[in-house]
Structure 1
Amino acid sequence: MDELSHKRKVTIMIGIIAAMFFSAINQTIVSTAMPRIIAQLGGMDYYTWVITIYMLTSTIATVLVGKLSDIYGRKPFILIGIVFFMIGAFLSGFSKDIFQMITYRGIQGIGAGIIMSSAFTAVGDLFAPRERGKWTGVMMAVFGFSSVLGPTLGGWIVDHMNWEWVFWIFLPLGIVAFILILMLFPKVPRKESESIDYWGSLFLTLTIVPLLLGFSWAGTKYDWGSEQIIGLFAAAVVFLILFIFAELKAKSPVLPLSLFRNDIVTISNLAGFLMNAGMMGALIYLPFFVQGVEGISPTYSGYVTMPMSISMVVISAFTGKWITKSGKYKRYAMLGLPIMIIGMVMMAYMSTIWVAVLAMIVFGLGLGFGMPVFSLTVQNAVRADQLGVVTASNQLFRNLGGTIGIAVMGTIMATSLKNNLVSKMQSGGGVDLSKVDPEIQKQLAEFQNPQMLLDQPKLEHLQTTLPADVQPLFTKMIDMLRSALADSLTTVFLSGAALLVVAIVLVAFLREIPLRTSNRLPEDAQKEGKKPQGGVSEPVVNRG
């Protein structure tokens, strides 16, 4: 798309960013509103499926659309993604029960996956790698801004309006994005030599579904060693083997295995996997400290994480500009990851809310430096006709990292908490309830589960109903639980920091090649008798 004017490219990017913001804000706005929505619809037992189905459909759509957009172009898929997302959002507002909500959120997930995959790839179509840096930074800033605005707006809507407007309020923005892309984004003719890899797509889907379900349910719905979880992981392995055989024989594989012979793609994807695993797996438990250990209400706990999003927004925008100006990117990943580790270690030893806020700011700075890098590195290392599939592979690894990180950190949290409680009981820190009235014993026994620390209204209600002579026992029990929870969170955050240390080691081996000022690889330019641009003198992709 080198023939497009810079002004038209910028206008197209406005439409792409609008589509991305439409998708991102609809994810974050739901986070604070969903508990209230589920309370009204009923079906709390199926609450996790509202989240799981979205994750499943968006991940599958992301990776499948990557190759299809290389064949048919990005425009039709961005438009299809917006339509799917709008239909899902519109129908979600009409949900009458939890099962309808799950179905419509699944449709939204399909749209979100298509939008995210196509949007990041479209940047690669419009701009040369050297210019992509600033736009990647802007797109990361969009995510940060939506994570600041969304939760607060979602809470405000369910408090002051009908909950349906959580899904409907940004529908006009989706219409604007659709029109902008329809009118301005050029249509690319289909590559007739390419065919659709049906078997590869089927086996890849059948690999992802049990894998994500296994990690989502392990340690929560089922034990790690249960028949259900082992069965899911076994199914994922079987379908993975079938997928590899299908890809080796496919004419146009949906996820070419040759990509992973490119060391830049492999290291970038693994680093992105570890970064998301450490980040998501640890940050998901920050509310346990804010609400459980410090006793801050859910309304105000959101303000503790807000500084992280703000610092990420600011730094990611600047990082993109600096990458574009210098043509270098590895230094920003090597700078961002250590800063993230410092923030994570601060979380491990935080003792007050203000330390938690400072840790969030530091962690956000590291994210701002590191997050824009890895989608840029993989796009810079492949031919233009592989942009879609390589971008999809990068997002697939990030999604898997977040899901697996949450599951593993959850197991670490549960195991550590159990051991800490036993240790404190054995050291005399437990509460002797043998002399307390049996009815009160039953009430207090319920609160020996540390998760009850998150139900502050129930805690306060129980405390006001207890006799005066039992109040000291209740206070001692709550203090013991908070201490055990705090120690367990230290283990979780240090585990997240350890994953980020491994990511740094990987990035140290990342081969940095100058960002090209053209979408053609050097060998392609040489075949056309033109001088390579961007200072690269060797092929950077293994074509298999």
Structure 2
Amino acid sequence: MARSVEEKPEIYHCESLEEQNSPNTRGISALAASEDEPQTPYQLGWRTTVALLALSMANVCAALSNTTNTTIKFQVAALARSPADASKASWIANGNFLIVLAMGPIFGSLSDRLGKKWFVVGGPLMGIIGSMVSGSAKSVYQIIGGNILTGFANAGCIVSISCIQEIMPNALRPWAMGVSQFMASAFVVLGTFIAAAFVRDNTGGAGGWRWAYYFNGIIYGLTAVSISIAYFPPKPRLGRRNQLGSIFRGIDYLGILIMSASFTSLIIGLTWGGNTYSWNSKQVTATLCCGCIGLVIFGLYEAFVVKEGILDHRLFQTLNFPILLFVCTIDGMLLLGVNVLYSQQIFDLFSQDAVRIAVILSPYLITSTFGCIPAGWIMASTKSYREMLVMALLWCSLFTGLMGTVNANRLSWTYAFSALFGIGTAVTTTIPVVALGLSVPSYLIGTAATISISCRALGGNIGITIFTAIYSNKYASYVGAKAASATEQGLAPVDVNQSARAWKYVWLAIAVLVAANGVAACFLKSVAPMMNSHIESALEGGKVREAQLQAIDITGDT
């Protein structure tokens, strides 16, 4: 049995790689045994509640920034001056996602060592700047530039996901993440309608979509202020072991460079393919090959050259970590891909009125919102998640597949099927990130959580690119290349019937990928032993927080 924190302050130390990777210390039970539960009673109070709400607003910011993607067609229509400008439309969304993908793990790793408040306050401050740049843009390229800045902001904001889990006892993490994801999803619904209303009313003139960005900037600002005054965590455990200089010397700079360059090359190739250049062009082939080779080199470097790099070896104590990264990647294709492309399908088949588009989106958004808290509550109550996650993924596969039967005369089917797969996405949004946090050492939760979100961003990037290519190629094969090009440039209306046929293949591709995700989730292991009373970052006054504030490491140095 664990001793009290007063008697055993070294419970906060971090084991060496050799200790944690030995055969006797592998698995979820070993992780649980290494995180002693405090014997001094720890009572949650108003400080934790206020911090939970404030930190959830950072999660809101990262999700809310995607609502402007539902107005991409209006942004391009207002600012594109040539077909070349219009062809860059996918980068309005991808610019944000790519930066989150590249910077998320870096910020997460640093936050585990330097402290997380720097990032969850600095991120929203950067978001204000990015939102203002995009909102005041005079060209498509300026919108992309603003969204790149917003990507840096969101890479900081997603650190809040690990903060939320750290300030709660392990057993209550699912409930806390359910609340946080509920807030994020609720703001997505609100932001979607607000963006649509701005567009329809042409608020501010010259494109009401600008005020969708300005609204996001206001939320970023309120978030930065609220976290600044509500969140005062103890120093992270890894930060207690090292001086600032040694932390920066230990940063995996080469790994960061290889990973970022590889992902950038890969996403550029996927974005160019079938749009700027043909898929068999030397430009697309070269960038895709460089990206894939770079990722292989990155994997080998992280596996055999460094031990505490971006992919810290201590994260791989169980198979849950790599499996959940795969789950999050495919889930990103579903969540982020659908958020961007579903609104475009509605635009093509049902309405070009921004508010009506939001109304048609709302069944999916609402069910995915209100399902988050029940999903977290079920996991917290049962200490079980695998069966629920597998069922949710297969449920999503079924109803995304049925979305392929939708056409311009089946609006009621659209409402029904989207609402039903929205129920499943509530589970896939909430549960994997909690299970991931309970499958790794708690002092590395910032690294683990941001890697998982980066995988979602990667999935979103790849999904948007692949699904757009599927649609574009199928639509062109039905109406002809010239007619498809004229439609893309806004010079000809969409052939509604042929568009519905093309969207069918997009939904079938999504359904197959999500089904494969469900199969992968079957191999996950229980995290019940980790769902105990351990708290990584105590905010409430008392002996637990005092021990963390004054903790000594394994060497005995203060």
Query: Aligning the two structures, in what range does the TM-score lie when normalised by the shorter sequence?
Result: 0.7 to 0.9
The question of 1:54 aligning with 2:96 is answered yes
Aligned residue number for residue 532 of structure 1: none
How much does 1:263 deviate? 0.8
Aligned residue number for residue 300 of structure 1: 356
The structure 1 residue matched to 2:403, chosen from 344, 347, 352, is: 347
| Paired letter, 2:356 | Y
The question of 1:513 aligning with 2:527 is answered yes
Instruction: Return closer, same or farther for 1:90/1:292 CA change in 2, 3 Å cut-off.
Output: closer
Instruction: Return closer, same or farther for 1:101/1:361 CA change in 2, 3 Å cut-off.
Output: closer
Aligned residue number for residue 452 of structure 1: 487
| Paired letter, 1:412 | I
Aligned residue number for residue 70 of structure 1: 112
Question: Secondary structure, in 3 states, of the residue corresponding to 1:214?
Answer: helix
The structure 2 residue matched to 1:114, chosen from 156, 159, 165, is: 156
Aligned residue number for residue 440 of structure 1: none
Question: Secondary structure, in 3 states, of the residue corresponding to 2:371?
Answer: helix
Q: Distance in 2 between matches of 1:15 and 1:262?
A: 32
Instruction: Return closer, same or farther for 1:322/1:414 CA change in 2, 3 Å cut-off.
Output: same
How much does 1:308 deviate? 0.4
Asked if 2 retains the 8 angstrom alpha-carbon contact of 1:330 and 1:510, the reply is yes
Aligned residue number for residue 152 of structure 1: 193
The structure 1 residue matched to 2:517, chosen from 503, 511, 523, is: 503
Question: Percent identity, aligned pairs only?
Answer: 18
Asked if 2 retains the 8 angstrom alpha-carbon contact of 1:311 and 1:364, the reply is yes
Asked if 2 retains the 8 angstrom alpha-carbon contact of 1:154 and 1:166, the reply is yes
Deviations 1:83-131 (A, max 9, x none): 2112222344444444443333211110111101x11110221113321
Asked if 2 retains the 8 angstrom alpha-carbon contact of 1:33 and 1:154, the reply is no
Q: Which has the larger radius of gyration?
A: 1
Worse-matched range after superposition: 153-162 or 42-51: 42-51
Aligned residue number for residue 19 of structure 2: none
Aligned residue number for residue 434 of structure 1: none
The structure 1 residue matched to 2:271, chosen from 207, 216, 222, is: 216
The structure 1 residue matched to 2:213, chosen from 133, 156, 167, is: 167
Q: Distance in 2 between matches of 1:96 and 1:371?
A: 35
Aligned residue number for residue 174 of structure 2: 133
Aligned residue number for residue 265 of structure 1: 321
| Paired letter, 2:471 | M
Worse-matched range after superposition: 352-361 or 334-343: 334-343
Q: Distance in 2 between matches of 1:88 and 1:28?
A: 15
The question of 1:368 aligning with 2:426 is answered yes
Deviations 1:389-427 (A, max 9, x none): 1112211221222222222333333444455569xxxxx
Aligned residue number for residue 142 of structure 1: 183
Asked if 2 retains the 8 angstrom alpha-carbon contact of 1:130 and 1:323, the reply is no
Instruction: Return closer, same or farther for 1:255/1:495 CA change in 2, 3 Å cut-off.
Output: same
Which runs of 5 or more structure 2 residues have no equivalent in the other structure? 1-11, 13-37, 537-558
Worse-matched range after superposition: 41-50 or 405-414: 41-50
Asked if 2 retains the 8 angstrom alpha-carbon contact of 1:413 and 1:489, the reply is yes
| Paired letter, 1:305 | L
Deviations 1:341-392 (A, max 9, x none): 2221321223410011101110111111232111111110111111011112
Asked if 2 retains the 8 angstrom alpha-carbon contact of 1:38 and 1:98, the reply is no
Q: What does residue range 92-111 of structure 1 map to in structure 2 within 5 Å?
A: 92-111=134-153
Q: Distance in 1 between matches of 2:143 and 2:465?
A: 24
CA RMSD across the alignment: 3.1
Q: Distance in 2 between matches of 1:186 and 1:6?
A: 14
Deviations 1:480-527 (A, max 9, x none): x54433333223212211111111111112112205123479xxxxxx
How much does 1:203 deviate? 1.5
Q: Distance in 1 between matches of 2:285 and 2:150?
A: 30
Instruction: Return closer, same or farther for 1:31/1:421 CA change in 2, 3 Å cut-off.
Output: closer
Q: Distance in 2 between matches of 1:453 and 1:224?
A: 18
Aligned residue number for residue 70 of structure 2: 31
Question: Secondary structure, in 3 states, of the residue corresponding to 2:251?
Answer: coil
Worse-matched range after superposition: 361-370 or 236-245: 236-245
Question: Secondary structure, in 3 states, of the residue corresponding to 1:27?
Answer: helix
The structure 1 residue matched to 2:330, chosen from 252, 266, 274, is: 274
Deviations 1:178-235 (A, max 9, x none): 2332233224433444522221112121122112222222222222222112211222
Deviations 1:324-352 (A, max 9, x none): 22222123212211221222132122341
The structure 1 residue matched to 2:371, chosen from 315, 321, 342, is: 315
Instruction: Return closer, same or farther for 1:226/1:381 CA change in 2, 3 Å cut-off.
Output: same
Q: Distance in 2 between matches of 1:103 and 1:449?
A: 28
Asked if 1 retains the 8 angstrom alpha-carbon contact of 2:197 and 2:354, the reply is no
| Paired letter, 1:212 | I
Q: Distance in 1 between matches of 2:202 and 2:531?
A: 51
**Which gives a bigger RCO, structure 1 or 2 (Cα 8 Å, sep 6+)?**
2
Q: Distance in 1 between matches of 2:305 and 2:46?
A: 43
Question: Secondary structure, in 3 states, of the residue corresponding to 1:500?
Answer: helix
Query: What is the TM-score with the length of structure 2 in the denominator?
Result: 0.77
Deviations 1:245-271 (A, max 9, x none): 543333531222553463111111112
Aligned residue number for residue 526 of structure 1: none
Deviations 1:155-191 (A, max 9, x none): 3224253255433335444343223322332244334
Q: Distance in 2 between matches of 1:88 and 1:411?
A: 28
Asked if 2 retains the 8 angstrom alpha-carbon contact of 1:450 and 1:482, the reply is no
Instruction: Return closer, same or farther for 1:252/1:166 CA change in 2, 3 Å cut-off.
Output: same
The structure 1 residue matched to 2:441, chosen from 377, 383, 390, is: 383
The question of 1:399 aligning with 2:454 is answered no
Aligned residue number for residue 540 of structure 2: none
Aligned residue number for residue 184 of structure 1: 230
Asked if 2 retains the 8 angstrom alpha-carbon contact of 1:9 and 1:126, the reply is yes
Aligned residue number for residue 484 of structure 1: 498
Q: Distance in 2 between matches of 1:365 and 1:48?
A: 28
Instruction: Return closer, same or farther for 1:321/1:350 CA change in 2, 3 Å cut-off.
Output: same
| Paired letter, 2:281 | S
